[in-house]
Structure 1
Amino acid sequence: MGEGRPLTSAPADPLPDAADDTLPLDDTIEPGKRLIRLPADKGLSLGDRIANHITRLTWRTPLHAFRLKGRFPLKLLGVPADPVPGDARAGTAIRAGHFLHRGLKLPLTELDFPSLAVAPAFADYLHSFAWLRDLAAAGTRAETSPIAEALVRQWLAAHGETVSEPAWSAENSGWRILFWASHAPLILSSSDLIYRSAVLNQLARAARHLDRIADKTRPGVGQLVAWVGIVAASLLMPGGEPRQVFGEAGLRKVLETSFYADGGTISRSPQAQLDAIMALSMLARIYDMRRIEVPPFVQEVLARAVPALLGLTHSDGGMGSWQGSGATSAAAIQAIVEASGVRTRPLKQARDWGYQRLVASKVVVLADAAPPPIARVTEAGCASTLAFELSDGDERIVVNCGGAALTGATIPADLARGLRTTAAHSTLVVADSNSTAILANGSLGKGVTEVELDRRETQQGSRLEMSHDGYARRHGLIHRRLLILSPNGRELRGEDMLLPATRSRRKGDKGFVLRFHLGPNISASLTADGLGGLLRIAGGPLWQFRTSEGSLAVEESLWVDGEGRPHPTEQLVVTSSAPAGGASIGWIFKHIG
């Protein structure tokens, strides 16, 4: 990441004492322009992809099977607490005889671990054993352990000796170590010594597997979880000191490359941020169980990652919709933040992660002020540069559609691809094209490489000016967006400009649209002059929208919640065209009642 975005955030301060209310942050607004460049990365090369494929093929060889053999523990050194509560509704469904995941339902009687015919995310939920947390929340150990044990037996019969994906993927193996350890009473209460030995042997085999593959895993949260699994295994099983040294060194290295200096993940995904914080928090509980101090480098990452995460929350505590994530609920976010043990406030500007947060009274504006993530660290990257969201208290006024990474029963693959486009975000779209290309294989292509950012706090309010070059090569235009939030939060003024790019020889007009996707509780109606709209919220505030130019219409849209369920909504669409010399449209959202 040496030639990527400059790392300008101040070093993280140490964790506060118990008497401190919040962790001090350095997120002062620095006046003046700042340039954010996309790191020079074109994704995995053909050679890398071939090497990774060959590595996965070796998992099935006798040599890899031999490497997984060895001594296994007679017992665990302790049972760490799971710091995150489970979903009692999902756990109750398991007790009733079926798994529930993002709108999908799988009866336990139809569960076939050797050949799971479910969506990839659902398969990961099953193979990682994340459902143990949900089951534990739905009853006593006596009520739930027989179900858990029966399912573990099924999994061991199918995958205990056969190493394959996705069951043995690095991420699922790492999560499985964490969840089996945290919920060991559910799966190790049996008096069957052969079964107990098989479970403990599987933990040892998973650790040896991760020893071999963690450093070859695709960068991102999956690789982080793999190293967390290695360290966790070293602390859970006797004689783990050599693995602990190896694992902590690997974890430290991957944390240094997985997070920007301001605490945001390199995937720029809030969901990835949540998963990373959760994995590190679960690991911290294992250190606590062993009465060993959590390594300072883990504490420092958590101390930076939590405020960065909170910086993308709205006034209601729920998450904004960015880079494929859904609008995760306030309760889910709060549970993971509490699990981290970090008490802090939201970061106002994540200068390297690329998000800006403007706050006035109960109004919050979130803006994407950076290029999309590099291709090799994301599978659901979105062309969302310069998009924004607006909330007033508990109500979302302007949103992004979100949910591209939450493929399930209600979000098929074709829809998920559409949710990654620029048009699915509240920003400007030139010639019905994406500001960053989304290629046929699903990876991100050419587009935005540079974003200019200028943020100032004045007596007139918070002023944020951003521009990107995503349309420069194809259309000869630079998109510049100005946002000004008034001190009382009752007005958000904006201006979108299309300016001729340097050395551009474009001739003729270019059509463009401004899209403002509206929150799920808003009903929009146009004013008589066709340049404004009233935004009504049942029992909530009344907002008005006005545009200075173009043709305004209300069209259908959708918004995806944190469970991956799409909700029908509306969007305001301003249509216009830009001549060779460029164009400018001013607009305002105003609280009027």
Structure 2
Amino acid sequence: MAVKRSAHGFKFPAPRLASRARGRVLWKALNAELGAHAAREWFGSGPHRLLIALPRAEGLAARPHDPRPADPAHGKKILAGVMSLDGGTLRLGVDGDPFDTASPSRRFAVSLHRLDWLPGLVAAGPDGARRALRLLDDWRRVFGKWNAFSWGPDCIERRVFHLACAAKTLAAEASDAEIADLTRDLARQARHLLEIKASPERGLERAVAATIAGCALAGKPGERLIDRGLKALLRQIDRMVLADGGHATRSPEAGVELLFDLLTLDDALGQRGRPAPEPLSRAIDRLSTATRFFTLEDGHLAAFHGGEAVGPKRIAAALAHDANGPRPLSAAPHSGFQKMAGGSLEVIADCGRPPLGPLSVHACAQPAAVEIVCAKDRLITSCGWSPEAAGAHAFRLSDAASTVSVGEGSAGRPLSGFRARALGPWLVDGATQVEAQRHDDVGGVWLDIVHDGWRHVGLTHTRRLFLDAVADELRGEDSLTPIAADPGAAEGPRRYLPFTVRFHLHPEARASIARDGKSVLIRGPNTIGWWLRNDAVDVAIAPSAHFDHGLARKAGQIVLKSQVRPEVGAKIRWKLTRAEG
């Protein structure tokens, strides 16, 4: 295989491999489409429905506790006849059936069939539990036997989890017939959950939900589900929870949500008198450490690779089991992130390659992206795209984060068309080689990040950061260098590409350009000012968007503009420093 070597020692594959990779992805997509069709035919068949119906459920046992904060106000709104889910609203009246009413959006429908409304209703007290039982009966009447959408991986995993956690509370308000229906539904769906092979990136979460359902069900049916679920869990847990506690998808939010699930499972196993397997306990410890690492000084989680900036209340709930845990380290090398802190500045940087294949369905093509907290205000961030922002895959590209963009392209892209429908929106053509070197000394922290995400235009990006703890400032240099040095290239025809460094602002941050046309003053909620000085050819403040629970909020971005000749390279230097007074 032909390779090119950069000045940094990286070996980059020759361009012809891109066509081979596209062919492999197409082959995988064809196989996935055929497999999905066969699975739909089997799952909808009578023999499969009979297999998941046996053995019959015998009753309820454990009451698994989900540490996620529940919102009783949401349940009370449903009792009043209004159901709001994922940005959509249905006005049902006090006895309306949402499963016999057109949903306002697909996102709403997915959330509805996941039973995302169930924790809030249960938290609203006995009236909420009785209303939940009626809604479950409405669902069972239409979708209880089989439905490709409602029983698909997007919906059934969370539905099994919510049902298992709420079953004992619902049973206290239910008739004997309703309890029998509830336990039968839970057993059938949990068994089906373990048969799903699609969306392999969620395989661990499916195993956890099925095992929790087994803990909630009494007798041998419950024990069998526990044994099957734990077996599936142990096959995957060390692959999905990295040694530093990061999630294999590289999403900080995915790690926190998995931590909630594992804590729920640990509680349920204890109620059943089953010891937690050592890999489960180890994963909980690691995920807790990673949650502390990814929580920044503003109290919110860092937002990378499809994860949003989870708020302090939810983070506190995830860490309540270990309030005095170890102080987080300054690096998560297995996850590919580095954190720098000094003075009143804190920086977290993406220093790893994007995940591959199924693990990349929510990944972003944003190597070397940073988030910066200044005096506990998150001023510099990204667009915060998450899968809740349905269809907005353009926000997964390089220009939607605080990093470098070259030309009109991106350092990677999500699949589209048939391939995306068959496999999911995998990220492809992203950085394949990413290196980070860090040096800590008394006065501050150096961090160098080098990646090949722009190899398709013949360039390597190097981001050099120095956080000066004494001067309370962050200095940065973004350099583009040719991958293959050619002494005669500089004398050839000149070809220029736009070269930009973007700093996306948090919706609560404001920026204005000084009279010199270059320096930018940034202020957050605490009104402390920060100057962003630079040597770019041109500086602009442009509109942007920031996603919060999948909903876009208006924000801005600072764009430092220049040009680069791919045969020669270019650089932009910048500095973020506290404004006097």
Superposition TM-score tier, normalisation by shorter sequence? 0.7 to 0.9
Q: In 1, distance between residues paired with 2:451 and 2:415?
A: 20
Q: State the match for 1:238 in structure 2.
A: 219
Q: State the match for 1:512 in structure 2.
A: 499
Q: In 1, distance between residues paired with 2:300 and 2:101?
A: 36
Displacement of 1:168: 1.8
Displacement of 1:367: 0.8
Q: State the match for 1:418 in structure 2.
A: 394
Q: Deviations over 1:390-441 (max 9, x none)?
A: 012431111101124222xxxx62xx22211111101110002111123333
Q: Deviations over 1:303-357 (max 9, x none)?
A: 1112223322220220222112222211122212325778343342121211111
Superposed counterparts of 1:562-573, under 5 Å: 563-573=549-559
Q: Deviations over 1:358-399 (max 9, x none)?
A: 122442211111122213124332111111010124311111
* C-alpha RMSD of the superposition: 2.7
Q: State the match for 2:171 in structure 1.
A: 188
Q: State the match for 2:209 in structure 1.
A: 229
- 1:80 lines up with 2:67 in the alignment: no
The one-letter code of the counterpart of 2:309 is A
2:440 to 451, 457, 481: 457
Q: 1:90 to 1:242 in 2, by over 3 A?
A: closer
Q: Deviations over 1:460-490 (max 9, x none)?
A: 3111100111111x21111100111112472
- 1:210 lines up with 2:209 in the alignment: no
1:359 to 341, 354, 358: 341
For normalisation by structure 1, the TM-score amounts to: 0.86
Q: In 2, distance between residues paired with 1:558 and 1:477?
A: 28
Q: State the match for 1:140 in structure 2.
A: 125
Displacement of 1:151: 0.7
Aligned residue for 2:414, secondary structure, equals coil
Displacement of 1:503: 5.9
Q: State the match for 1:470 in structure 2.
A: 453
The one-letter code of the counterpart of 2:407 is A
Q: In 1, distance between residues paired with 2:234 and 2:538?
A: 53
Q: Is the 8 A contact 1:532 1:544 kept in 2?
A: yes
Q: 1:296 to 1:37 in 2, by over 3 A?
A: farther
- 1:558 lines up with 2:545 in the alignment: yes
Q: State the match for 2:385 in structure 1.
A: 403
Q: 1:434 to 1:74 in 2, by over 3 A?
A: same
Displacement of 1:89: 3.3
Q: State the match for 2:75 in structure 1.
A: 91
Q: 1:170 to 1:510 in 2, by over 3 A?
A: closer
Q: In 1, distance between residues paired with 2:375 and 2:77?
A: 33
Identical pairs, percent: 27
Q: In 2, distance between residues paired with 1:349 and 1:503?
A: 33
Superposed counterparts of 1:109-148, under 5 Å: 109=93, 111-113=97-99, 117-137=103-123, 139-141=124-126, 143-148=127-132
- 1:349 lines up with 2:349 in the alignment: no
1:434 to 385, 389, 410: 410
Point out where structure 2 has 5 or more consecutive residues left out of the alignment.
Answer: 1-7, 14-20, 418-424
Aligned residue for 2:40, secondary structure, equals helix
Q: Is the 8 A contact 2:443 2:470 kept in 1?
A: no
Q: State the match for 2:421 in structure 1.
A: none
Q: Deviations over 1:78-118 (max 9, x none)?
A: 32333222023322322221222232212335644367535
Q: In 2, distance between residues paired with 1:115 and 1:256?
A: 43
Q: In 2, distance between residues paired with 1:374 and 1:531?
A: 39
Aligned residue for 1:483, secondary structure, equals strand
Q: In 1, distance between residues paired with 2:102 and 2:206?
A: 23
Q: Is the 8 A contact 1:262 1:304 kept in 2?
A: yes
Aligned residue for 1:68, secondary structure, equals helix
Q: In 2, distance between residues paired with 1:36 and 1:241?
A: 52
Q: Deviations over 1:212-237 (max 9, x none)?
A: 33xx23222x2112111332233232
Q: State the match for 2:561 in structure 1.
A: 575
1:105 to 86, 89, 108: 89
Q: 1:257 to 1:456 in 2, by over 3 A?
A: same
Q: Is the 8 A contact 1:422 1:434 kept in 2?
A: yes
Q: Report how many residues are paired.
A: 546
Q: Is the 8 A contact 1:371 1:448 kept in 2?
A: yes
Q: State the match for 1:373 in structure 2.
A: 355
Displacement of 1:126: 2.2
Q: State the match for 2:43 in structure 1.
A: 59
Superposed counterparts of 1:139-178, under 5 Å: 139-141=124-126, 143-162=127-146, 164-170=147-153, 172-178=155-161
